[in-house]
Every structure is written in structure tokens, then in C-alpha cells.
């Protein structure tokens, strides 16, 4: 309780999970791809790799760094929320969810960029 007798409500982790999911799904891919286009980040070669190890060298380091930077940018609000007692549960739910969803989305797009489109030849 505070000095005025009111109970300070804590933010729910479920709200953080929901917002983290929405941010990861609706904002991460469009904003990261727009930033890559504006910064003129080179895309990897669309030829399918012979092995997975050979495919990792087809993208430039800036290509992989842009995907990582996007995850870190969207993770920042969750880290800030962890500093405050009232929003700590919200921050944990947001941080875990936005990281998982963003990393899975990035891996899906990177695999399509490295391996080419999925479908019959």
C-alpha cells in the first residue's frame, strides 16, 4: 500500500505476452525489412545452397546484423519495464514473447532468402 492508502496495481504478464505477440507479428518484419531497404543492405544470393553450411556465407554480415538489431530494438521496451516494480511482470512477458516471435519470424525469412522459394520447380 502507498501512503494514501491505495493499492498500486501491478501490470499483468498476460498483457505483456499479448502485446509482445502483436508487436512481434505485426511490427517486426515490416519495420526490419523497410530499414534494410532504406539502408541498402545486400540480400543473399537466391541460388539454393548445396549444404546448410555453404548457405550461411551467402549473406553479408550486415544482412544478419540487421535482423539481430531489429530484435534488440523491439526488446528494449521490455528491458525498461523490468527496472520498475510495478511493470516487472509485464516486462518479462513482453520480453520473452517478442524475442521468441521475432526470432522465429527472422529465421523463417532468412531461410527463404537463403534457400529460395518453397514449391515445385
Mean pLDDT (whole number) for 38-51:
72
pLDDT tens per residue, range 2-40: 555 555 567 788 999 999 999 999 999 999 999 999 999
Task: Give percent of the chain above pLDDT 90.
Answer: 51
Mean pLDDT (whole number) for 44-48:
62
The residue that leads in pLDDT, 81 or 47, is 81
Mean pLDDT (whole number) for 76-94:
92
Residue 105 has pLDDT above 70, yes or no: yes
* Residue 8 confidence (pLDDT): 58
Taking alpha carbons only, the member of 113, 84, 81 closest to residue 97 is: 81
Amino acid at each position: 500500500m502507498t501512503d494514501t492508502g491505495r493499492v498500486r496495481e501491478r501490470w499483468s504478464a498476460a498483457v505483456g505476452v499479448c502485446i509482445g505477440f502483436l508487436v512481434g507479428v505485426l511490427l517486426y518484419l515490416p519495420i526490419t525489412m523497410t530499414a534494410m531497404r532504406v539502408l541498402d543492405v545486400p540480400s543473399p544470393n537466391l541460388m539454393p545452397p548445396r549444404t546448410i553450411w555453404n548457405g550461411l556465407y551467402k549473406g553479408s554480415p550486415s544482412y544478419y546484423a540487421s535482423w539481430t538489431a531489429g530484435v534488440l530494438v523491439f526488446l528494449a521496451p521490455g528491458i525498461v519495464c523490468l527496472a520498475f516494480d510495478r511493470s516487472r511482470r509485464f516486462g518479462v512477458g513482453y520480453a520473452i514473447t517478442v524475442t521468441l516471435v521475432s526470432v522465429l519470424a527472422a529465421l523463417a525469412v532468412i531461410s527463404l532468402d537463403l534457400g529460395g522459394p518453397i514449391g515445385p520447380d
